[in-house]
């Protein structure tokens, strides 16, 4: 904290109007495995001070990796020199003003983190996958321990410790038969890697010998893992910065109907045991829960202090200093079990994972993505057989209007394809476009 | 800090490691984001750190840190060695024997990046904004991100390799949204190359972005529905480049073939016995060449100390070579062909592409087009994807035109080609002379490593492809 104080004091004395400094110290252990063997253990040990300064409405950011006064002096000098040549940031309106009372977030910091052994977890998971019928498996396990401190020129000073565990496993029974599952938690006691290993192996076995399927419109059940990348894009679209820069399919005005009545989306930076949870955002504003869509009606965008002032509203605690970012983006649950959902479908598809989602137009939400891992044809309420070679080609803005069923259980998902944290149930969407190569 | 890298190698050898390598890196970078004509943020950064990899009892370990103190590093090394020793269900890792290399090289900068003021860099972006706004259409939004960096690498391994390099690069990405007649169109693209500020000047950002807006306006204003069904297609260098990368490069990365990326970037339809397999027409030759001067994926020695060279992945339609690091080379009884890269010191080196492209043929683009009765000319694209075995792929055109009786006609809106590797490659019957290199950041591994690559090629002609 002493070095943060020094940087803020020096920059203020040299003419900065606003300064945000934060120190992140993190120690990460990682184990990678493939072909049912551990192929690499890794560790990362990093300390970084991030610095943001606004001087006469000119905004600049940098970081400091050598945590010494001498290195800080050089960086401060460079900030002052560089900022002189910058044009004004016409969009900049300021940073949060403290003090704040921060929320108590449950299950953010696990005291048992130093005892957790990544090798034991992975070796157990490999055995479980094999014992449940997988020919081989691959994946990754991370254990992260970090400490953050923040100090700003606007009376904000705080710190928090965080821990996180992320486990991902893909079981395979042939080049065309595989299943993928993940588990993530901030506390080891709630990391359910065993269920993930079992689920991935079971999907893999069930997807053996897939058949070619037809093109057309199908009612599609997306598992939480499969819908998560689309929900990540939805969360990003909720940032007012995305709206301004052409990356959002949301309309520009709130209170518009954008989804079916059963769809409620929240961004919850205080979600218990949430991967994206914390006490404060990047400018030290308290994290909170924000209702983005309520029963299909767009209610709010995600803001930091600058965008909130511009749009005459309050910050939602989602700084990103330049761009507001989602924390834990939550699709609220419905009342269906997975079995009931399948039973309700006459002509449909169950998709358990997707891969390579790309947009043709972010404004309209036109996209396509490819089902990966177990994909199953549903006829008259029953799973008929695994299928292959499909592509989902649809419009996200329209798809949300066709959501007709939501599972009753929520699962927290982060994955290789879903880069920021989401929480969601199984999702049933009517008349989804399915195409195939010719 | 070179001492720290060398100390690490000796320390690991003393602890029984059969192989050790260390990469010390300093990366100095600048970046600017202009959104809707306003400078959102200017950033600069200097990152210094070390990445270390070792083999102990045939088990592989990697660690990285930016805390460049001996005591902290020793503690981290000890923990990593302990983890390796503890592992029971473990792959037996061996590397191919390779020559020890000593080298010191750099990419020359005609105009040194550090001599160019932030003012000058920003003024190019502002000029581009002005040019775009001069087109008679409604621009919904613009987003331009310009970056440059200078990277100093010092690599050392226990075989005796010592390689120092200095590689400057510059890149920019843009997303433009245009509205006409109640409909919108978007373009996203990236440009990048190795060198000094002359690279940025060569992008000709203001005129490039103006021409993008013009093309989008014309497409929205005058575009018609594309022909439906089986027709011929002439695909411009941006499209052939993404095809070369996605289905001409990725499936031949040997680590994917051996299943190492199964839970991340996926596997491959290719198996290790497919060398010699005829996958495409005689006209198809695809290479991966890290030594392309000023290429965005340029290097002369890879991140395992192996000398880089051009690899012919597909030659005259036949699979000829996979991309290898020292581990996959050993598995196939070969020497590495220098394809190991990490995107920075903090990530493990893995098998990657560099500058991957279709070799040019003997035709002008006009000659490719004049032999098409009915077809589509797709200059560039917006949406694309491919399955994780690298078979099922889709490209949606952005700036595109109808071809009728060998002539370019009216713009057409978003023609889609959804095909497979096995159908596409035999259908490519001719390549143009107009080789172009386009830039991309290729994602692979976990944690994700976005790495600079060239996606290149000339215009190519594809016979009888389904367009919708």
- Gap between the Cα atoms of B73 and B66, Å rounded: 10
Do B347 and B330 sit in the same domain of this protein?
A: yes
Chain A residue closest in CA terms to B30: A62
Does the beta-carbon distance from A355 to B266 stay under 8 Å? yes
Do B118 and B244 sit in the same domain of this protein?
A: no
pLDDT in tens, B189-241: 999 999 999 999 999 999 999 999 999 999 999 999 999 999 999 999 999 99
Do B102 and B132 sit in the same domain of this protein?
A: yes
| CATH number of the domain where residue B105 is located | 3.30.2290.10
- Determine the average pLDDT of the residues in A22-38: 98
Q: Is the pLDDT confidence value at B149 over 80? A: yes
pLDDT at residue B6, as a whole number: 96
Do B205 and B66 sit in the same domain of this protein?
A: yes
**B255 CA to chain A: closest CA distance, Å?**
11
pLDDT at residue B1, as a whole number: 74
3-state DSSP assignment of residue B364? coil
CA distances from B399 to A354, A360, B402 (A): 28, 13, 11
**B240 CA to chain A: closest CA distance, Å?**
18
**A66 CA to chain B: closest CA distance, Å?**
7
Chain A residue closest in CA terms to B413: A360
Q: Is the pLDDT confidence value at B71 over 80? A: yes
What are the chain B neighbours of A391 within 8 Å (beta carbons)? 385, 392, 394, 418
Contact A109, A162 (CB under 8 A): yes
ipTM of the complex: 0.96
Q: Which of B39, B185, B267 sits opposite A86 (nearest CB)?
A: B39
3-state DSSP assignment of residue B331? helix
pLDDT in tens, A87-111: 999 999 999 999 999 999 999 999 9
- Gap between the Cα atoms of B462 and B431, Å rounded: 9
Q: Give the Cβ contact number of residue A380 at 10 Å.
A: 9
What are the chain A neighbours of B350 within 8 Å (beta carbons)? none
Domain boundary (B188, B222, B256) is at B222
**CA terminus-to-terminus distance, chain A:** 61
- Gap between the Cα atoms of B67 and B44, Å rounded: 20
**Half-sphere CA count of B385, side-chain side, radius 13 A:** 25
For the record, the structure tokens of A377 come out as: 């044809």
pLDDT in tens, B411-463: 999 999 999 999 999 999 999 999 999 999 999 999 999 999 999 999 999 99
- Determine the average pLDDT of the residues in B391-408: 98
The residues spanned by each domain of chain A are 2-206, 211-435
What are the chain B neighbours of A168 within 8 Å (beta carbons)? 263, 446
Does the beta-carbon distance from B63 to A38 stay under 8 Å? no
Does the beta-carbon distance from B39 to A89 stay under 8 Å? yes
Q: What is the 3-state secondary structure (H, E, C) of chain A?
A: CHHHHHHHHHHHHCCCCEEEEEEEEEEEEEEEEECCEEEEEEEEEEEEEEEEEEECCEEEEEEECCCCHHHHHHHHHHHHHHHCCCCCCCCCCCCCCCCCCCCCCCCCCCCCHHHCCHHHHHHHHHHHHHHCCCCEEEEEEEEEEEEEEEEECCCCEEEEEEEEEEEEEEEEEECCEEEEEEEEECCHHHCCHHHHHHHHHHHHHHCCCCEECCCEEEEEEECHHHHHHHHHHHHHHCEHHHHHHCCCCCCCCCCCECCCCCCCEEEECCCCCCCCCCCECCCCCECCEEEEEECCEECCCECCHHHHHHCCCCCCCCECCCCECCCCEEECCCCECHHHHHHCCCEEEEECCEEEEEEEECCCCEEEEEECCCEEEEECCEEEEEEECCEEEEEHHHHHHHEEEEECCCEEECCCCCCCCEEECCEEEEEEEEECCC
β-sheet with B286-288: strand ranges across: B318-319, B311-315, B286-288, B355-358, B449-457, B436-444
Does the beta-carbon distance from A42 to B264 stay under 8 Å? no
What are the chain A neighbours of B93 within 8 Å (beta carbons)? 39
Q: Which of B72, B93, B419 sits opposite A438 (nearest CB)?
A: B419
- Where are the strands (E) in B316-421, listed by range? 318-319, 340-341, 350-351, 355-358, 374-378, 381-386, 392-397, 400-404, 407-411, 416-420
State the total domains in chain B: 2
pLDDT at residue A66, as a whole number: 84
pLDDT at residue B196, as a whole number: 97
Residue of A116, A142, A197, A361 to mutate, testing the B interface (most B Cβ within 10 Å of its Cβ)? A361
Q: Which of B42, B184, B388 sits opposite A355 (nearest CB)?
A: B388
The radius of gyration of chain A from alpha carbons, rounded to an integer in Å, stands at 23
State the average pLDDT for chain B: 97
What are the chain A neighbours of B49 within 8 Å (beta carbons)? 46, 65
- Gap between the Cα atoms of A245 and A363, Å rounded: 10
Contact B151, B347 (CB under 8 A): no
Domain boundary (B222, B251, B268) is at B222
pLDDT band at B81 (very low <50, low <70, confident <90, very high): very high
Given the DSSP bridges, would you call strands B400-404 and A347-351 parallel, antiparallel or unpaired? unpaired
User: How many residues would you count in chain A?
Assistant: 438
Sign of CA dihedral B118, B120, B121, B123: positive
Q: Is the pLDDT confidence value at B317 over 80? A: yes
Do B274 and B403 sit in the same domain of this protein?
A: yes
- Determine the average pLDDT of the residues in B107-112: 97
Given the DSSP bridges, would you call strands B355-358 and B102-106 parallel, antiparallel or unpaired? unpaired
**B189 CA to chain A: closest CA distance, Å?**
12
pLDDT at residue A85, as a whole number: 85
Place of tokens 């052939």: B240
CB pairs under 8 A between A and B: 245
Domain boundary (B222, B241, B269) is at B222
- Determine the average pLDDT of the residues in B293-321: 98
pLDDT in tens, B387-399: 999 999 999 999 9
For the record, the structure tokens of A398 come out as: 């329209």
- Gap between the Cα atoms of A401 and B7, Å rounded: 61
Q: Which of B87, B258, B264 sits opposite A38 (nearest CB)?
A: B87
pLDDT band at B51 (very low <50, low <70, confident <90, very high): very high
pLDDT band at A84 (very low <50, low <70, confident <90, very high): confident
**A368 CA to chain B: closest CA distance, Å?**
8
**A261 CA to chain B: closest CA distance, Å?**
27
What are the chain B neighbours of A82 within 8 Å (beta carbons)? 42, 44, 118
For the record, the structure tokens of A243 come out as: 């709206």
Do B192 and B313 sit in the same domain of this protein?
A: no
pLDDT at residue B180, as a whole number: 95
- Gap between the Cα atoms of B95 and B101, Å rounded: 16
State the average pLDDT for chain A: 97
Do B214 and B279 sit in the same domain of this protein?
A: no
For the record, the structure tokens of B379 come out as: 């200059």
Using CB atoms within 10 A of its CB, is residue A15 exposed (0-12), middle (13-18) or buried (19+)? exposed
- Gap between the Cα atoms of B52 and B49, Å rounded: 10
| Residue numbers of the domain that contains B157 | 2-222
**CA terminus-to-terminus distance, chain B:** 57
- Gap between the Cα atoms of B352 and B339, Å rounded: 6
- Gap between the Cα atoms of B269 and B280, Å rounded: 15
User: In sequence order, which residues have a C-beta less than 8 Å from that of residue A432 and are 6 or more positions away?
Assistant: A217, A218, A219, A220, A349, A392, A394, A399, A402
What are the chain B neighbours of A355 within 8 Å (beta carbons)? 266, 385, 387-388
CA distances from A52 to A60, A138, A161, A338, B386 (A): 6, 40, 22, 47, 39
pLDDT in tens, B260-289: 999 999 999 999 999 999 999 999 999 999
Q: B346, B219, B141: which is closest to A362 by C-alpha?
A: B141
- Gap between the Cα atoms of B322 and B310, Å rounded: 12
Contact B235, B425 (CB under 8 A): no
Does the beta-carbon distance from B117 to A364 stay under 8 Å? no
Given the DSSP bridges, would you call strands B374-378 and B229-235 parallel, antiparallel or unpaired? parallel
Does the beta-carbon distance from A246 to B177 stay under 8 Å? yes
Do B39 and B82 sit in the same domain of this protein?
A: yes
Burial A86-112 (b: 16+ CB within 10 A, else e): bbebebbbbbbbbebebbebebbbbee
CA distances from A204 to A60, A381, B334 (A): 49, 21, 33
Contact A207, A350 (CB under 8 A): no
Place of tokens 């596997």: B267
Q: Which letter does DSSP use for residue B57 in this model?
A: T
Q: Which letter does DSSP use for residue B160 in this model?
A: S
Element spanning B19, H or E? strand B19-35
- Gap between the Cα atoms of B64 and B21, Å rounded: 12
Q: Give the Cβ contact number of residue B88 at 10 Å.
A: 9
CA distances from B106 to B48, B182, B333 (A): 18, 51, 32
Q: Give the Cβ contact number of residue B92 at 10 Å.
A: 11
Task: Please report, rounded to a whole number, the percentage of residues in chain B having pLDDT higher than 70.
Answer: 100
pLDDT at residue B2, as a whole number: 83
Q: Which letter does DSSP use for residue B17 in this model?
A: -
Does the beta-carbon distance from B267 to A60 stay under 8 Å? no
Do B175 and B244 sit in the same domain of this protein?
A: no
pLDDT at residue A438, as a whole number: 81
What are the chain B neighbours of A127 within 8 Å (beta carbons)? 89
Place of tokens 């970037």: B265
Do B203 and B281 sit in the same domain of this protein?
A: no
Q: Is the pLDDT confidence value at A328 over 90? A: yes
For the record, the structure tokens of B296 come out as: 């965005």
Does the beta-carbon distance from A360 to B389 stay under 8 Å? no
Q: The domain A2-206: what is its CATH number?
A: 3.30.2290.10
Do B214 and B267 sit in the same domain of this protein?
A: no
- Determine the average pLDDT of the residues in B172-201: 96
What are the chain B neighbours of A34 within 8 Å (beta carbons)? 91, 259-263
Do B45 and B182 sit in the same domain of this protein?
A: yes
Q: Which of A45, A86, A391 sits opposite B67 (nearest CB)?
A: A45
């Amino acid at each position: 904290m002493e070095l943060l104080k020094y940087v803020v004091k020096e920059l203020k004395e040299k003419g900065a109007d606003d300064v945000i400094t934060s120190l992140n110290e993190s120690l990460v252990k990682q184990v990678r495995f493939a072909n049912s063997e551990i192929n690499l253990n890794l560790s990362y040990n990093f300390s970084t001070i991030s610095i943001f300064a606004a001087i006469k409405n000119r905004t600049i950011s940098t970081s400091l990796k050598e945590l010494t006064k001498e290195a800080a002096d050089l960086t401060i000098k460079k900030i002052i020199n560089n900022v002189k040549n910058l044009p004004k940031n016409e969009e900049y309106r300021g940073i949060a003003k403290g003090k704040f009372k921060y929320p108590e977030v449950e299950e953010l910091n696990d005291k048992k983190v130093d005892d957790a052994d990544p090798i034991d977890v992975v070796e157990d998971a490999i055995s479980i996958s094999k014992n449940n019928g997988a020919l081989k498996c691959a994946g990754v396990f991370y254990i992260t321990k970090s400490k953050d401190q923040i100090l700003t020129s606007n009376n904000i000073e705080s710190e928090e410790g965080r821990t996180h565990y992320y486990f991902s496993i893909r079981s395979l029974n042939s080049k065309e038969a595989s299943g993928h599952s993940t588990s993530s938690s901030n506390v080891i006691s709630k990391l359910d890697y065993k269920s993930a290993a079992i689920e991935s192996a079971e999907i893999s076995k069930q997807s053996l010998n897939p058949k070619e399927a037809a093109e057309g419109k199908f009612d599609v059940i997306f598992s939480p893992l499969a819908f998560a990348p689309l929900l990540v894009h939805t969360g990003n679209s909720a940032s007012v910065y995305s709206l301004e820069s052409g990356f959002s399919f949301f309309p520009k005005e709130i209170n518009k109907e954008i989804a079916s009545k059963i769809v409620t989306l929240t961004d919850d930076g205080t979600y218990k045991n949430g991967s994206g949870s914390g006490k404060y955002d990047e400018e030290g504003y308290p994290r909170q829960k924000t209702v983005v869509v309520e029963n299909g009606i767009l209610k709010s965008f995600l803001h930091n202090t600058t965008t909130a002032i511009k749009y005459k509203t309050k910050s939602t605690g989602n700084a990103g200093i330049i761009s507001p970012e989602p924390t834990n983006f939550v699709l609220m649950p419905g009342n269906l079990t997975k079995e009931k959902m399948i039973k309700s479908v006459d002509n449909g598809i169950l998709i358990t994972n997707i891969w390579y989602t790309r947009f043709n137009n972010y404004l309209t939400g036109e996209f396509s993505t490819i089902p990966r891992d177990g994909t199953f044809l549903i006829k008259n309420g029953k799973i008929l057989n695994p299928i292959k070679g499909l592509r989902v080609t649809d419009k996200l803005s329209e798809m949300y209007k066709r959501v007709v069923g939501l599972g009753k259980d929520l699962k927290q998902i982060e994955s290789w394809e879903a880069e920021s944290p989401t929480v969601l149930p199984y999702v049933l969407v009517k008349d989804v476009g399915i195409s195939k190569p010719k | 800090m070179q001492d720290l890298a060398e100390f690490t190698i000796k320390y690991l050898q003393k602890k029984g490691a059969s192989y050790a390598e260390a990469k010390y890196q300093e990366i100095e970078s600048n970046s600017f984001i202009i959104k809707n004509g306003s400078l959102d943020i200017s950033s600069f950064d200097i990152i210094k750190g070390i990445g270390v990899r070792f083999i102990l009892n045939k088990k592989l370990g990697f660690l990285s840190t930016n805390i460049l103190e001996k005591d902290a590093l020793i503690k981290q090394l000890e923990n990593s060695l302990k983890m390796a020793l503890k592992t029971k269900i473990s792959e037996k890792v061996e590397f191919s024997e390779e020559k020890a290399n000593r080298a010191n090289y750099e990419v020359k900068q005609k105009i040194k990046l550090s001599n160019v003021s932030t003012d000058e860099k920003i003024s190019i972006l502002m000029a581009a904004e002005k040019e775009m706004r001069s087109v008679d259409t409604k621009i919904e939004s613009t987003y331009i991100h310009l970056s440059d960096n200078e990277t100093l690498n010092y690599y050392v391994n226990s075989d005796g390799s010592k390689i120092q390099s200095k590689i400057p690069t510059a890149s920019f990405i843009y997303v433009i949204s245009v509205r006409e007649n109640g409909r919108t169109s978007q373009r996203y693209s990236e440009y990048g190359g190795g060198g000094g500020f002359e690279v940025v000047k060569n992008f000709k950002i203001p005129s490039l972005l103006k021409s993008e807006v013009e093309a989008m306006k014309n497409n929205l204003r005058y575009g018609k529905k594309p022909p439906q069904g089986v027709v011929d297609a002439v695909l411009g260098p941006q499209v052939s480049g993404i095809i070369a990368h996605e289905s001409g490069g990725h499936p031949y990365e040997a680590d994917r073939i051996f299943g190492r990326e199964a839970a991340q970037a996926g596997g491959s339809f290719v198996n290790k016995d497919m060398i010699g397999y005829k996958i495409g027409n005689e006209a198809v030759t695809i290479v991966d060449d890290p030594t392309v001067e000023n290429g965005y994926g340029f290097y002369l020695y890879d991140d395992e100390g192996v000398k880089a060279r051009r690899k012919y992945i597909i030659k005259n339609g036949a699979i000829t070579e996979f991309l290898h690091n020292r581990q996959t080379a050993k598995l196939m009884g070969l020497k590495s062909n220098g394809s190991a890269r990490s995107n920075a010191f903090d990530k493990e080196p893995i098998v990657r592409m560099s500058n991957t492209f279709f070799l040019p043929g003997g035709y002008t683009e006009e000659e490719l087009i004049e032999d098409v009765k009915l077809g589509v000319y797709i200059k560039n694209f917006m949406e694309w994807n491919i399955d994780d075995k690298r078979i099922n792929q889709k490209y949606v055109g952005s700036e595109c035109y109808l071809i009728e009786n060998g002539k370019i006609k009216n713009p057409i809106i978003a023609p889609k080609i959804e095909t497979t590797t096995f159908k596409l490659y035999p259908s490519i019957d001719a390549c143009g002379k107009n080789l172009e290199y386009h830039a991309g950041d290729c994602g692979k591994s976990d944690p994700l490593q976005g790495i600079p690559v060239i996606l290149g090629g000339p215009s190519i002609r594809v016979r009888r492809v389904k367009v919708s």
